[in-house]
Amino acid sequence: MNAISQFLNERVSYHVHELQQPAPKPQQMTEILQAAMSTPDHGKLKPWHFLVVNQQNIEALISLLQTAWQTANASLEPQRAKRLASYLKQAPSIVLVSAELAEDSHISKQDQIFSAAAACQMILLSADALGFGSVWYSTDAVELPNVRHLLGLQDRHHPVGFLVIGSPITKRTKSRSNVAELSVEWQGAASVSPWGTNQSVKQEQQ
Ligand SMILES: Cc1cc2nc3c(=O)[nH]c(=O)nc-3n(C[C@H](O)[C@H](O)[C@H](O)COP(=O)(O)O)c2cc1C
């Protein structure tokens, strides 16, 4: 296994409580986000929008979110709102990744959203490569209309990832599944074999 392959295989997420300062400096954040420019991009639409929130602004963000969660009479129960606020408070830095949808394009909305999701992964890997740790969280915290407006998001923005980036308190690895369990090889019409064997299995007709 070469060094890059090993790096990819050893990638792990660090949850917010496993992260601390320093967060990436502006120059490092630029380098991290620049890697997303190499994301697969159907139709060269660059359907990506990155909103960076530095730690000095996280307190203000939480306060706006909390107000919005309450006033929107939200689908967010108080217990969940409290949990979200407390994890965000610990975030060394946040990048909210949205798909910036070109409505009039012949490229499907789905492809544009997939591309933005792939950009998230590019960012996580790029952060890892610079020695940071990161995690991808869901975007439900920012999907209420009144929050979107405060964050400068327009209707064309479709949030896909709340990425938290900082320095791991303790570096670690994880044992991972064997890919063979999830892979098959096509052997002809309705016939596949487990990956790495030549024994084909006829698929049951639906
Ligand atoms: C689209 C997406 C949304 C996610 N949202 C959350 C989340 O809200 N909370 C959470 O604990 N993990 C969430 N995860 C999972 C973590 O990012 C992470 O992948 C998981 O904890 C497993 O860690 P690993 O990446 O080291 O295997 C999400 C992952 C994806 C791809």
Q: Residues with Cβ within 6 A of ligand 1?
A: 12-13, 135-138, 174
- The reported pLDDT for the residue numbered 202 is 61
Angle, helices 78-89 vs 55-71, to 10°: value is: 170
What pLDDT is stored for residue 75 in this prediction?
64
Looking from the CA of residue 176, the nearest atom of ligand 1 is 27
Nearest alpha carbon, ligand 1 atom 18: 13
* Rounded CA separation 33/157 (Å): 18
Residue 196's contacts (CB-CB under 8 Å, 6 or more residues apart) are 180, 183, 185
Q: What is the rounded distance in angstroms from the CA atom of residue 148 to the CA atom of residue 142?
A: 6
Which residue has the least CA distance to atom 7 on ligand 1?
A: 137
Q: How far is the CA of 15 from the centre of ligand 1 (A)?
A: 9
Kindly give the distance from the C-alpha atom of residue 136 to the centroid of ligand 1, in angstroms, as a whole number: 5
Per-position pLDDT tens, the chain of length 206: 999 999 999 999 999 999 999 999 999 999 999 999 999 999 999 999 999 999 999 999 999 888 888 776 656 778 888 888 888 999 999 999 999 999 999 999 999 999 999 999 999 999 999 999 999 999 988 887 778 888 999 999 999 999 999 999 999 999 999 999 999 999 999 999 999 876 666 655 54
Pick the CATH number of 3-174 from 3.40.50.300, 3.40.50.1580, 3.30.1160.10, 3.40.109.10: 3.40.109.10
Position 200 scores a pLDDT of 65
Ligand 1: distance of its center to the CA of 87 in Å? 14
By C-alpha distance, which of 120, 177, 175, 170 is closest to 15?
Answer: 170
Q: Which atom of ligand 1 is nearest to the CA of 136?
A: 17
Q: Alpha-carbon dihedral of residues 121, 44, 109, 34, nearest 10 degrees?
A: 30
Instruction: Please give the distance, rounded to the nearest whole angstrom, from the Cα atom of residue 89 to the centre of ligand 1.
Output: 18
Domain positions in the chain: 3-174, 176-206
If you measure from the C-alpha of residue 161 to the centroid of ligand 1, how many angstroms do you get, rounded to a whole number?
A: 10
Task: Report the nearest-CA residue for atom 21 of ligand 1.
Answer: 13
Adjacent-strand bridge partners of 100: 157
Residue nearest to atom 14 of ligand 1 (CA): 137
